[in-house]
Chain A
Amino acid sequence: MKSTKYSEKVLEHFRNPQNVGTLSGENVALGRVGNPTCGDIMEMYIKVEDNIIKDIKFQTFGCGSAVATSSMTTLMVKGMTLDEALKVTRKDVAEELDGLPPIKMHCSNLAADALHEAIKNYKAGILVEQPESIEKPIENKSILGELEYLGKGVYYSITNKDYFKDQRVLIRYNGDESIRAALELTKITNRVIISTSSTKIHTDDKELKTQLRNSNVKILTEAKILAVMGDDEVEKVRMLDLDEDSEYDIFVDRLVLLNTVSIPPVCENV
């Protein structure tokens, strides 16, 4: 069966998704599942009154079935009590949609999971309107192959800009200095990725934040750099997706690790 052989009901929900959007205000909780690497992301917002789901909205990045299952779930559970809604499963949602192609069952039928996540968050008192905890991860764990490729694609500073001109650069987030370095690099190459193992890039510097947002620096979150690979010089890096616990490769030419403290600073071209 082709992965896009969808039922008419799925297509109808894809064409006209119900309850798209976000919610804010009191008693609103959010459930978020999936990640961009695996292909689907769903966010489900619920507003709860007297233990009943009074309102529900979603946003989805994903294929046809991802959109349709999200839409259907919101219709099914609006007005239910939290405990009733917790009993709604992926299977129930798929059945309401007259079935899904088998290959899509596991990957994109995440809407029920997002809903359950939202309910759990609500019950745990984790609401949308709460100040988020501030995290400042300093990442300096060593990477497999880091020393071997030092000066051959791995750099601890960007003093010699010639090495980065028109290269695909991955820079590990490590505070404001790494953001500044990433922005600086965009002047000499059009491909700069900044990665962090956290869920977001943090900075207190508002201007820097705006600059980063308006730049073409690609931000990669929940990603840990595991190893550097290549024939003689860096050709790709192996990443760990912390949310999915799965590994994948990014083809890059340069890896920049600022403030590396585990090893004393070394000059380039060692």
Chain B
Amino acid sequence: MMLREQCGSNFYNIKIIKHQIKGDQKMITQNSQSSQSSQSYKNRDEPQKHQIINLDYQSSKPVDERVIQHMIPYFNQIYGNPSSLHTIGDKAEDAMAKAREQIAHFLSVLPEEIYFTSGATESINLALIGYAIRNRRKGNHIIMSEVEHISQHNLAKYLEKNGFVVSKVPVDQYGKIRIDKLRKRITEKTILISVQYANNEIGTIQPIKEVGEIAAEMGIAFHSDAVAAQGQITLNPKQHHINLMSISSNDFYGPKGIGVLYLQKGYRVSPLLIGGGQEKGIRSGTENVAGIVGMAYATKLLEEHQAEEVERYKSFQKKLQNEILDSVPHSYLNGHPKERLPNNSHFRFDGIEGESILLMFKEHNIAVSTGSACSSKTLEPSHTLISTGLLHEEAHGSLEFTTGRFTKEDHISKAVELTPKIVERLRAISPLYSKTKVI
């Protein structure tokens, strides 16, 4: 029974988030009482009182307090059901329409192409299962890359059980999809190609434009998971021939539990949730108005700050990569050296194991992530790292830093200072390091 439960939960986990999130929750209640929204943007601290330095923004982000302030009236003042015909309902409907327009503006798409969901997982499910079922008359073949988020690999298994054929396209040693191999996998029965905007683990930016052009040329629908890329690079699905795109609110400092599927006009999906016909029948269920408003406001903040934030992330990235690769012998960068998300620095070190690295950082109140098997629920190393050609033992020795809105220069300095010490300490007790070359 125990084993079965574990297996069940494996499907939804790629990494385990090791740091304490309790602090974040506490700060939400604190900050909603005090109004600090006038505080200047640059002086904001990550709202945590007992300083845990978060260098694992990829796993989770705090909700920006300005977003929280903006959401509060929608819990008890403008609380209506948008479907209701009276004024209370109208107010909620207006708020939702405005939010939809804002998000459409952010993505340079039409408001009617925005569908609200409960988050990226649901958006991706709707895109893959919904599209496959609705269009099965045209064919039963779907193509995705080897380095998609684990949720897509599990969806592939589900689709295969239900009569679809899924082909996976390999990537090069930097995690970039092989365009030549993608072309070769297309058949007459291919109905959908799904390739992420950028990789969530190693940060490699995918050649989305080329994939989109191939899909458009062959008349195949193209879905992109933009969760890792959002907030880092400007998303523009129309420019890249993306017909379906999944994004989540929390990944740009909005609330959890809300996301969007962009579905280009003229493309159809079958609903996965059947009910009262909300979201044009594509996604039934009373709308999460507060979440929708919060997500929209988060995109607004991002429109104002993205350029400045990205510059900051780039300087952090430069410091992390230059100094760690310099100070640690036998250390390597995973992912693409240049074409990568500015907030992502992903390393590997010979002879040591990632969970131990993570625990050492935890001792110093720094939250980091790893692709090691020992830290995953499946005890399997990261499929992304393996897809780039790494051996299991190399994938075990990986360390990922992702920076975010509240990362400070001194957080980076601390990580840069600690990393060589932690690596050295673990190597001193490792039987593998001195024998990295077994000869």
Chain A contacts to B: CB under 8 angstroms:
2-4, 11, 14-15, 17, 20, 32, 36-43, 59-64, 66-67, 102-103, 107-108, 168, 190-191, 193, 199-203, 209, 212-213, 218-221, 231-232, 235-236, 248-252
Check if B389 sits within 8 Å of A62, measured CB to CB: no
Residue B351 interfacial (CB < 8 Å): yes
Task: Please give the number of chain B residues whose Cβ is less than 8 angstroms from any Cβ of chain A in the complex.
Answer: 46
Whether B6 pairs with A103 at a CB distance below 8 angstroms is yes
Q: Which B residues are in CB contact (< 8 Å) with A190? A: 173
Instruction: Using CB atoms and an 8 Å cutoff, list the residues of chain B in contact with chain A.
Output: 2, 6, 16, 18, 146, 167, 170-171, 173, 181, 184-185, 351-353, 355-356, 358-359, 363, 372-377, 379, 381, 386-389, 391-394, 396, 428-433, 437-439
Query: Are A63 and B393 CB-contacts (below 8 A) given A40-B374, A199-B438?
Result: no
Task: For the complex formed, measure the closest distance between the CB of B106 and the CB atoms of chain A, giving whole angstroms.
Answer: 35
Chain A's interface: helix, strand, loop or mixed, by majority?
mixed
Q: With A and B bound together, what is the CA distance between A91 and B206 in angstroms?
A: 48
Tell me the complex Cα distance, A190–B337, Å. 14
When distances are taken between beta carbons in the complex, the residues of chain A under 8 Å from B181 are 231, 235
Measured in the bound complex, the distance between the Cα atoms of B85 and A164 in whole Å is 68
Partner pick for B352 among A14, A61, A199, CB 8 A cutoff: A61
Q: Chain A residues near B439: list those with CB within 8 A.
A: 200-203, 209, 212-213, 219
Pick from B146, B359, B394, B429: contact of A64, CB below 8 A: B359
Residues of B within 8 A of A202 (CB): 439
A20 with B393: CB separation less than 8 A: no
- Taken together as a complex, chains A and B put the C-alpha atoms of A9 and B17 apart, in Å, by 22
Give the 7 A-B CB pairs with smallest separation, nearest first.
Answer: A36-B393, A63-B374, A59-B431, A63-B355, A168-B389, A61-B432, A37-B392
Q: Contact: A62 with B170, CB < 8 Å?
A: no
Contacts of B373 on A, CB cut-off 8 Å?
A: 38-39
Closest CB-CB distance, B386 to chain A, in whole Å? 7
* B431 and A250 contacting across the interface, CB-CB below 8 Å: no
Q: Is the CB of B431 within 8 A of A41?
A: yes
B5–chain A nearest beta-carbon distance, Å: 11
C-alpha spacing A252/B172, complex, angstroms: 9
CA–CA, A15 and B352, complex, Å: 15
Task: Find A250's partner among B353, B389, B396 (CB 8 Å cutoff).
Answer: B389
CB of A36 within 8 A of CB of B386, answer no
Chain B residues whose C-beta falls within 8 Å of the C-beta of A64 in the assembled complex = 355-356, 359
